[in-house]
Structure 1
Amino acid sequence: VKMAGNNSYTIVEYFGGDDGYRCGYCKNDKGNFSHAGMWSHSMTVQDYQDLIDRGWRRSGKYVYKPIMKKTCCPQYTIRCHALNFQPSKSHKKILKKMNKYISKGDLPAAQEDGEPMDSVCEDAGPREPTKVCQSDLKVVASADIKDEIPNRSAAEEVQKNSKGEQMPKLLTQPAFCNESTILNYQSESVKLKVTHCTGLGADPSRPPSRKAKDLRKERRLQKDQKRQHGAGVLPPKPAHTNQPKTLEEFINESLEDSSSDRLEVRLVRSNPPSPQFKASFDASYQVYKLYQMAIHKDPPDKPSESQFRRFLCDSPLEAEHSPDGPEMGYGSFHQQYWLDGRIVAVGVIDILPTCVSSVYLYYHPDFTSLSLGSYSALREIAFTRKLQKQSTKLCYYYLGFYVHSCPKMRYKGQYRPADLLCPESYTWVSVEQCIPLLNNSRYARLNQDPDAGDSQAVKDVGRALVLHKRTVMPYIVYSCKFKGRSDKAEVQEYASLVGQDCAERILLYRS
């Protein structure tokens, strides 16, 4: 058996058990169940891609999978088709709100934000893992095992609508009236007196009214023409199109303003930590600490530096580079949002062979009203689209778990087109088809085709690879060498959860 990936294996310890723990969604003290979890000493990006496509998710180096039929709030893996994404009206409002703040410094009034709750397993980690080293691993293979392991290359937040009172709508002007017509409109908070109208329509001597955004575009075009004319360049004629604005155009609207340099988004590798990550570590941690205390009501001693490292900085993912992959490579990163020279938000992401996976988002509480959770998700979708130009397979944006039984988490379904992962067939089904099923039942088999099965169902547990005393061997060899051990049921359960291919690549630690 040869080494996989960048001369490294995925090495995990599997922990069985069905103990319930407190649910971060409905707050049930014993209602949240995982099939158990795995402590990952190291992991290739392809193995993690395959695991999240079977409903797994990581919190630091701990990887877990909910028991969908048993847990109080079933958690369905959700992905957005980034290339076909079009921002909704609410998304456009969020982008415009940020652009307005960047260009004019107008911070909206504070609003109540929902909690980012994809971190529910943060404190549900396993017992202290065994020390395992990649170096000096011996490999034992049986004759019926193939000779090669293939190289298989937030805190999200929910932005609630403001509950401020809606201003009453003005009565529309009658079609015909004379100068003596008086319109009186009175509400609890507004009194209007309108004396108006000759019924002759718009004043023909005046130019027709135009939208403010069209006037702004015209002024920008005139400035460009003056600059180009001064340089002796004839300005191109503007192209008129009925195509809707792209996500990138909405994001970049503020970049035409001279104050756009106020906001900078920096991508820094967190594992192994880059020099830029190390230099900004303390500033990033201080934002996390403030966030946890303000949003999650943590006591000051809980969001410690070691907890921050374990939860959001440590990652099992190996840094990998591929000729047809993105320029920065694959692995774990922090996407830092710098405003006026200081960090105001950090998106923790994994860049994998076919997706950008959102891990968590934290931000400075002073900027709660900017809806930074939703804003960062839109930026990460745009980032996924940018990476797809470098790596054609990388075209999805994973938003973690969709929890239909928790209304605050349904917002993830609005980043469309989107799919949910069927917990039985492990196939993708469009959100539109899933919602009626989830309205009827918290748990549902999303793929309604009874013949659709799990293509990675375990056929031969004996082919699963295990690691024992730094020696790699198929489980069938291990079980023959140690006949007195009764761990077949546990290995069978592990293999069924990770799937046949992963079981034949990942090393399952055996003490």
Structure 2
Amino acid sequence: MARSISSFSVLEYFSESGGSKCGYCNRSSSSLSHGMWAHVMSAEDYQDLIDRGWRRSGKYVYKPTMHQTCCPQYTIRCHALDFLPNKTHKKVLKKMSKFLAKGDITKGLTDESTMDMNTLPDLLPVQDHLCPDLRDPNISTKEGLQEPSEAIASNQATKTFFGSESKVQKKRTPHPGVGVDPARPLCRKAKDIRRERKRQKLLHGQPEGLKVEPRSSTPSATATASNPPTQHPQAVNRQSKLLEEFISDQGGPDASHHLEVRLVPSSFENAAFETSFEQSAALFAKYQMAIHKDTASECSHDQFTRFLCDSPLEEEHRADGPSEGYGSFHEQFWLDGKLLAVGVLDILPRCLSSVYFYYDPDYSNLSLGVYSALREIALTKRMHHEATDIRHYYIGYYIHSCPKMRYKAQYRPADLLCPESYHWVQVEHCLPLLDKAKYSRFNTDLSAGDDDCPVSLDHVMVLYNRCAMPYNVYQQRWAHSKDEAEVREYASFVGQRCAERMLLYRG
């Protein structure tokens, strides 16, 4: 059956131009990428594009030139079904519960959601927190402990002589039988012992060696006998219940605050979205000016609409899909009837993709960036029960060369996308490579290539004079051979499957 043009994704491709200023390292003309303007795009096509390193900001879709750009940006995804919250995550959840129940904002954990400091069009701020690598058995291991008498002597108060200060330290020789026994094992802190026990639990049942997941359009590739879950099933169930309990059982009839979360389509045709637009735009401007130091003109209504409201994804509903359908959404957090925060999300056939998050800076101590990410992981798990193909939570780009962006690797288990073979590789195997070089091929099998690499332009679909046709027909009829190199480049970046489904606009 023939398809109407309105059922195709329609895009305009832009070849790589001169570099722009990098929002991560602030170097001028050093950020390089290829881009496309998506007039309309299906959720299926966008899913395949982000699995090849693309990312959208509004209707603009871009792909960093990984081996040339100053700060390579690697697509990262979290296995939502196997996610284990760490100690920091639990503290954030407990703090929110305490705030809702008693109205208390405990100081100490400041908001770690400093977010992606990149300039537009890369808008992807999520929470920032750094955790030690639990794989390192030597982390924070103290060589030995001082005897109490030595500690007191070494910390003796400063004495003053004629206006000048000098530290006096007593040297004390241990009596026989007192001191460290060299025959005994080194002393370790209790927290280091607990950390080692946790590391052993996380590694329990995990196969040895590099685990590379091939890129596949079928979701079954993520759960096969040769690719078992990375976490122990009992640990997953226990932690999953804990995450759900914290999120679903917050507040009550006697709570000091009431938090309501609404998921509304990003469309002015939706009444809930339209009525909350002014509050959302005002909150966005407040956040941008306070956190990112933008001017009022840089976060106007037009800018807000262009980058966070306009989307090429049209709302789609399928019998086997989630109840919300596929497309772009705003997850709104309402605190006592006032808009507290908004997460911009894309619901796709195999994942929940985070686009942007902004919040009221007056509530920074609640660590709302971390909290929102945990809510989005929980939402991914809930949608999996309705649409089993949805298994992953995409957190945008991981940028190892930018310390503020390394927090994304802590939402584990996680994978990074190999920029050459487009296979998924466990983040634990990628980080040592990125410590050595900011650009790296993660797939150690050098014979593995792009499984979706175009071999011919004959079936690449183009749109010309409002007519859809294969590129070879377009080329024969109108003899536009001068754009063959550009079309070939476009096809190599989007892959054969997308090139045969989407329409490349030819003016």
Q: Deviations over 1:474-510 (max 9, x none)?
A: 0000111122540000000000000001000000000
Query: For residues 429 and 274 of structure 1, do their structure 2 counterparts lie closer, same or farther at Cα, with a shift above 3 Å needed?
Result: same
* Corresponding residue for residue 82 of structure 2: 84
CA contact (8 A) 1:103 1:254 kept: yes
- Is 1:158 the counterpart of 2:128 in the alignment? yes
Q: Deviations over 1:192-220 (max 9, x none)?
A: xxxxxxxxxxxxxxxxxxxxxxxxxxxxx
| TM-score for the superposition, normalised by structure 2 | 0.76
Q: Measure the CA separation in 2 of the matches of 1:269 and 1:325.
A: 15
- Is 1:376 the counterpart of 2:346 in the alignment? no
* Corresponding residue for residue 116 of structure 1: 115
Q: Measure the CA separation in 1 of the matches of 2:394 and 2:466.
A: 35
* Corresponding residue for residue 211 of structure 1: none
- Is 1:398 the counterpart of 2:368 in the alignment? no
CA contact (8 A) 1:81 1:396 kept: yes
Q: Measure the CA separation in 2 of the matches of 1:453 and 1:405.
A: 25
CA contact (8 A) 1:114 1:408 kept: no
Q: Measure the CA separation in 2 of the matches of 1:272 and 1:318.
A: 12
User: Does the residue aligned with 1:325 lie in a helix, a strand or coil?
Assistant: coil
- Is 1:28 the counterpart of 2:24 in the alignment? no
The alpha-carbon deviation at position 24 of structure 1 amounts to 1.2
CA contact (8 A) 1:9 1:506 kept: yes
The alpha-carbon deviation at position 407 of structure 1 amounts to 1.0
CA contact (8 A) 1:114 1:160 kept: no
Q: Measure the CA separation in 2 of the matches of 1:159 and 1:271.
A: 33
* Corresponding residue for residue 281 of structure 2: 285
User: Does the residue aligned with 1:337 lie in a helix, a strand or coil?
Assistant: strand
User: Does the residue aligned with 1:419 lie in a helix, a strand or coil?
Assistant: strand
For residues 283-432 of structure 1, the aligned pairs below 5 Å read: 283-432=279-428
For residues 118-133 of structure 1, the aligned pairs below 5 Å read: 120-122=119-121
Aligned length: 410
Query: For residues 23 and 269 of structure 1, do their structure 2 counterparts lie closer, same or farther at Cα, with a shift above 3 Å needed?
Result: same
Query: For residues 118 and 341 of structure 1, do their structure 2 counterparts lie closer, same or farther at Cα, with a shift above 3 Å needed?
Result: same
Query: Percent sequence identity over matched residues?
Result: 54
User: Does the residue aligned with 2:331 lie in a helix, a strand or coil?
Assistant: strand
Query: For residues 273 and 361 of structure 1, do their structure 2 counterparts lie closer, same or farther at Cα, with a shift above 3 Å needed?
Result: farther
* Corresponding residue for residue 227 of structure 2: none
- Is 1:2 the counterpart of 2:34 in the alignment? no
Structure 1 alignment gaps of length 5 or more: 125-153, 162-173, 175-182, 189-241
Q: Deviations over 1:131-163 (max 9, x none)?
A: xxxxxxxxxxxxxxxxxxxxxxx42132479xx
Q: Measure the CA separation in 2 of the matches of 1:265 and 1:361.
A: 14
Query: For residues 4 and 346 of structure 1, do their structure 2 counterparts lie closer, same or farther at Cα, with a shift above 3 Å needed?
Result: farther
CA contact (8 A) 2:117 2:292 kept: no
* Corresponding residue for residue 475 of structure 1: 471
Larger mean Cα displacement after TM superposition, 270-279 or 462-471: 270-279
Q: Measure the CA separation in 2 of the matches of 1:441 and 1:11.
A: 37
User: Does the residue aligned with 2:434 lie in a helix, a strand or coil?
Assistant: helix
Query: For residues 107 and 43 of structure 1, do their structure 2 counterparts lie closer, same or farther at Cα, with a shift above 3 Å needed?
Result: same
Q: Measure the CA separation in 1 of the matches of 2:77 and 2:267.
A: 24
The alpha-carbon deviation at position 255 of structure 1 amounts to 3.9
User: Does the residue aligned with 2:501 lie in a helix, a strand or coil?
Assistant: coil
Q: Measure the CA separation in 1 of the matches of 2:457 and 2:120.
A: 28
* Corresponding residue for residue 142 of structure 2: none
- Is 1:509 the counterpart of 2:505 in the alignment? yes
User: Does the residue aligned with 1:284 lie in a helix, a strand or coil?
Assistant: helix
Bigger Cα Rg: 1
Q: Deviations over 1:205-240 (max 9, x none)?
A: xxxxxxxxxxxxxxxxxxxxxxxxxxxxxxxxxxxx
User: Does the residue aligned with 1:462 lie in a helix, a strand or coil?
Assistant: coil
Larger mean Cα displacement after TM superposition, 38-47 or 295-304: 295-304
Q: Deviations over 1:249-282 (max 9, x none)?
A: 2323434573176111100101364100001110
For residues 208-287 of structure 1, the aligned pairs below 5 Å read: 243-244=238-239, 245-255=241-251, 258-259=254-255, 262-271=258-267, 273-287=269-283
Match of 2:99 among 98, 101, 120: 101
Amino acid corresponding to residue 309 of structure 2 in structure 1: C
- Is 1:56 the counterpart of 2:26 in the alignment? no
Amino acid corresponding to residue 349 of structure 2 in structure 1: P
The alpha-carbon deviation at position 457 of structure 1 amounts to 0.3
Structure 2 alignment gaps of length 5 or more: 132-146, 158-236
Q: Measure the CA separation in 1 of the matches of 2:112 and 2:85.
A: 20
Q: Deviations over 1:34-55 (max 9, x none)?
A: 0x20000000000000000000
Q: Measure the CA separation in 2 of the matches of 1:20 and 1:270.
A: 31
The alpha-carbon deviation at position 328 of structure 1 amounts to 1.2
The alpha-carbon deviation at position 22 of structure 1 amounts to 1.1
Amino acid corresponding to residue 13 of structure 2 in structure 1: Y
Query: For residues 275 and 476 of structure 1, do their structure 2 counterparts lie closer, same or farther at Cα, with a shift above 3 Å needed?
Result: same
User: Does the residue aligned with 2:288 lie in a helix, a strand or coil?
Assistant: helix
User: Does the residue aligned with 1:246 lie in a helix, a strand or coil?
Assistant: helix
Q: Measure the CA separation in 2 of the matches of 1:187 and 1:83.
A: 53
Q: Deviations over 1:101-140 (max 9, x none)?
A: 111111234836453227544289xxxxxxxxxxxxxxxx
CA contact (8 A) 2:463 2:503 kept: yes
* Corresponding residue for residue 223 of structure 1: none
CA contact (8 A) 1:271 1:331 kept: no
Query: For residues 265 and 184 of structure 1, do their structure 2 counterparts lie closer, same or farther at Cα, with a shift above 3 Å needed?
Result: farther
CA contact (8 A) 2:75 2:397 kept: yes
Q: Measure the CA separation in 2 of the matches of 1:31 and 1:327.
A: 43
Q: Measure the CA separation in 2 of the matches of 1:312 and 1:26.
A: 24
CA contact (8 A) 1:159 1:371 kept: no
Amino acid corresponding to residue 402 of structure 1 in structure 2: Y
Q: Measure the CA separation in 1 of the matches of 2:89 and 2:112.
A: 15
User: Does the residue aligned with 1:491 lie in a helix, a strand or coil?
Assistant: helix
Query: For residues 491 and 369 of structure 1, do their structure 2 counterparts lie closer, same or farther at Cα, with a shift above 3 Å needed?
Result: same
CA contact (8 A) 2:116 2:404 kept: no
Alpha-carbon RMSD: 2.7
Q: Measure the CA separation in 2 of the matches of 1:87 and 1:365.
A: 25
